[in-house]
Structures are given as C-alpha cells and as structure tokens.
Structure 1
Amino acid sequence: MNETFKNLEETKQKRILSAAMKEFADKGYEQASTNQIIKDAGIGKGTLFHYFNNKKDLYEYLVDYAITIMHDEYFSLIDTSESDFIERMKQIAQVKGNYIAEHPNVTNFIGMVYLNDEVTLPKELETRLADLKKTGYSLIYKNINQKMLRRDINTDKALKLIQWSIEGYQNELMRLFQGEKIAHIDLQPYWDEFYEYLDVLKTTFYEEGQT
C-alpha cells in the first residue's frame, strides 16, 4: 500500500509526511491524532488510510523515511577528514542548519522515536536506528586530533563542553526562529556571531599556537 503513496506527486507526499511527523513529535505515538494529521495535511478524511494500513503502518513508514533523509541529506555531507574538532563542529552546524531548513520536522520526530517506548518497531528498523545513532557519534569524534587541546585539562570533558556550547547556540537560534520561514531571514549576522564564539572556544580549550 505504501507504493501507492510513493506514486503521489512529491509536494503532496511532503505535506502528508511533514504533518504526520509534526503530530507524532509533538504528542508521542499514543496521543497523536490521525484526524489532526489529515487536517494539517489538507487531505480528505479516509485518504490517509488509502496509503497506509493503520496508524502503526504510517509511523513505521515515517521512521524509515526519517532515517533515510538523515543519512542521505545530513550525515553523508559531513567530512570526517577534518581533524580539528571545532572546525568539524562548525561544518556539522552548517550542514545541520541547511538540513533543518529543508526538513524542519525530521529531527524532532527522530528524537521522539528514540525516547518513545510505546511502539515496538520491526527488528530491521530497530537496527537502522541503532546504526544511525552510532554514525552520528562517529561523525562528531572520528579522526579528531586531540593533541590540539590543552594538556592541562581533561580531554573528554573539553570535547563535551565544546560540543554542548555549539549545540546550545544552535538550539537557541532554533527557538528564536520558531515559526519563521528560514529562507526569509538573513543568517549571515548569526553565522558571524557563531564564528566569534568558536574563536573564544579555541582560545579557551586549544594549546597556544593551535588557534
């Protein structure tokens, strides 16, 4: 039945997927309303179940879709040959920003899926979710040159503090822009400010001469 959905025009597919991911992300599996999804997607009553057998079938399709999108349009664009941790995090932030602008509901949906214990997923999806998590961790830390960090501080804690600082700034911007159309915002001043913060992080955590 999902094949019928895949044959829909792309704009209608995206509208349905976006509405469904937002509803599940906001309310969790049990409380999510298919009627609300239908309303938000602007489709006729009953149309949703022409494409999906039931709510669980829709949910599993969304999990599979979100994993594929994250891998193809986010993770695959990260260059792990960059060994400078802060430069790696800068690159991740730039790719993530573009990805979230294109797929605003995927990240929140996947986050809900990881925290959700209401649904037992097929083994294949469970494995793909576990692999996605490992890949995300690897993209942050693989091939990092830890010798750039100051020798008088704990390396693992320093890396975590840098990561949390950068992700915290991103989250603050996401809250600031909530409900706004990213395409209509001049992001350059925010990138300039972001790079200034990165310079502060390098001065704080890197050995002299490594900045």
Structure 2
Amino acid sequence: MRKINQPFYNLKPDKREKIIHAALQEFAENGYEQASTNNIVKNAGIGKGMLFYYFKNKKELYLYLIDYSLAIITNEFLGKIDTNEPDFIERLRQIAKIKMAYNQDYPNILGFLANVYIQEEIELPENLTKRYEEIINLRHSVMYENIDTSLFREDVDREKAYQLIGWSIEGYQNNLMKQFKHQNVTTTNMDPYWDEFYDYLKILKTIFYK
C-alpha cells in the first residue's frame, strides 16, 4: 500500500475523523463491493475529488481503514485491559466498562472488521492478515492470562464456565447498547445500570465460585 497523501494527515483532526467515520459506517453496513463512495463523501461533507486526492481509489481507502481499525482495537481497547486482575469475572467486568466506552467512541469498527475478515471480499496484504491474527492472540491473552482458576468450584468445568460467564456478560452488554443506540451515553447517568450489572456479577460468582 502506498503512503497516503500527506494532505490527509494535514487536515484538522475533526475533519479527518469525520471522513474516517463516514467510510467505516458505509463499509460496515454494505461491505466492500456494495459500499458507495458517493455516500461516503456525502456523509463526510467533502467533494468526491478530494476523497480520491487523499486516497488513490476505493481499495486504498479500504486498506487504510483496516490498518486504522486494527491500531484502534489494539491501543484503545485491548491495550487498556489490566491482566494483573486474577478474578475472571472481575476481569470481564473491567473489559465490559472499557468496551462500552470504546464502542461509544468508535461505533463502527467492530462491524467493519467483521465484514473484512468474515466476508473476505478482497485479498488482503499479508501484513494486515498477520496483524489480525496477532490481535486474536492478544484478545485470548487479555481474557485468560493470569486467571486464578482456584476461585472456581471444583465440580465446575472451567472451560464451560468461561463460556457461560462470557455469554451472560456479553448478552447483558449487548442489550444495554441497544437501549442506548440512539442516545449519547456521556450525558446519561449510567450508575443504576452498572449497579444492576454488578448485581448480576454477584449472582455469577455465587453460581461458579467457591
């Protein structure tokens, strides 16, 4: 991939992020083949000529967004998780809070990357494929590294417990995100929801821990 034109990086951050957000949303909703650059420039508030001044073509924009998204996931999500927390349920509580803030700031990245690596509409450069694999490994590490398995009841299958706990927390979080899909979470008092969430975590600990 050629180096992106310097004028793109010379844009004011808010203008640059608006272009990135518009492109991520379009690709996340429609995939690579069906994504419309006309929709991207319309939602970004720029001329089509400017988009192709910054990026040579649609594919180059797409590859740039993959590179951008992988960096965001690494630094703004996985990189913020404290793997020194040995309690699996507490680890997931921490991840849930980070993920909530992450999805608020970067709402289209997960959907975009899911399209990229599940649909596989274009062949990706080896370096992007390798980085994605590294992120999968990093995700496994931040989930399970340094977990104190002695906290679990001896009659519980720990691998199944991991899955059930993870599904429970993810399900609650997905339900919460649907409720706030069209709201600004930063202006909402989230304390009652987190209190409810912690109550559910206590129940999970009662079920699975000694």
Match of 1:93 among 82, 88, 96: 96
Task: Deviation per CA, 1:162-206: give whole Å up to 9, x if none.
Answer: 011111111111111112222222111111111011001000111
Note the residue ranges of structure 2 that are not aligned, 5 or more in a row: none
Give secondary structure in 2 for the equivalent of 1:104. coil
Q: Identity of counterpart residues, as a percentage?
A: 49
Unpaired runs of 5+ in structure 1?
none
User: Equivalent of 1:168, from 163, 166, 171?
Assistant: 171
How many pairs are equivalent?
A: 207
Tell me, in whole angstroms, the C-alpha distance in 2 between the residues paired with 1:41 and 1:54. 16
Asked if 1:14 is matched to 2:23, the reply is no
Q: How does 1:51-200 map to 2 (within 5 A)?
A: 51-200=54-203
Structure 2 length-normalised TM? 0.95
In 1, Cα distance between equivalents of 2:65 and 2:48: 20
Q: Structure 2 vs 1, CA of residues 81 and 53 (structure 1 numbering), >3 Å: closer, same or farther?
A: same
SS for the counterpart of 1:74 is helix
* Cα distance per residue 1:31-56 (max 9 Å; x no partner): 11111111111112321111001111
CA distance in 2 between partners of 1:200 and 1:122 (Å) = 46
Find out whether 1:206 has 2:206 as its counterpart: no
Moved over 6 A (4+): none
Q: CA deviation at 1:98?
A: 1.4
Distance 1:3 1:110 in 2: 25
The letter of the residue matching 1:162 is: I
Q: CA deviation at 1:158?
A: 0.5
1-side partners of 2:115 and 2:194: how far apart? 28
1:124: Cα distance to partner? 0.6
